[in-house]
Copies of this chain bind each other. A is one copy, B any other.
Amino acid sequence: MTTSLSRGPYKPGRIREQSRDLILQAAEAEFACHGFRGATMQRIAESAQVPKANIHYYFSNKLSLYGSVLENTLNLWDTVFNELSSHDEPADVLSRYIDAKINFSRTHPTASRLFAKEMISGAPHLSAYLQQDYRLWFKQRMSVFESWIAQGKMDNIDPAHVIFMIWASTQYYADFEPQILIATQTEQLTEQAFINAASSIKQIILKGCGIKY
């Protein structure tokens, strides 16, 4: 791991950025685990190994820290979101999307959990985000499915439920990890486990929607 000393000449603001990132990382884990109200600045500070007061040096208050964490998460989220955008064959598009979603659950589980916690709480801090691009994105994706149905490339199923099913199934492996670990009697979810999950989900969704592959 590189430190500020090994990176060559002094660059103003580098330490500041590093501390900020450390705090954001610790905050993400804490908020994902305990929610906005349940998380404490004390625990975030301990986890980031900075004095509690320093958090207020980088972020004006708890809500603004949470907002920054959420913003980071949503940016990551959007990247995966937009994978479902091609006009290729449905089998390819959905396979790639399911792989991308499962991969996100594997590589960014806390981001997934943070988002889930927000949703379960009624999404009080997400209204702006959800009203914005999100509705448009969903409508556009819906019409892609509808054109597939019109072309006889998939069965006549309400596309909304297909999308919800893909979201639900893929996010489950991040959000409900404890349940999966106990059910499958394993200690942790390996990369192979995620690959197997994606494979099963793809098989069921594609065949279940009558998509040829």
Question: Which A positions have Cβ atoms within 8 angstroms of B?
Answer: 32-40, 113, 116-117, 119-123, 126, 130-131, 134-135, 138, 155, 157-158, 160-165, 167-169, 171-173, 175-180, 182-185, 196-197, 200-201, 203-210
Contacts and interface: CB of A to CB of B under 8 A. Distances in A.
Contact of A185 (B135, B168, B172, B175): B135
B162 A204 contact: yes
Contact of A35 (B34, B178, B183, B197): B34
Given A126-B178, A165-B204, A207-B208, 11 more contacts: A35-B37, A37-B37, A113-B120, A116-B120, A119-B176, A123-B179, A138-B183, A161-B200, A207-B207, A207-B210, A208-B208
Interface of chain A: mostly helix, strand, loop or mixed: helix
Contacts of A134: 182-183
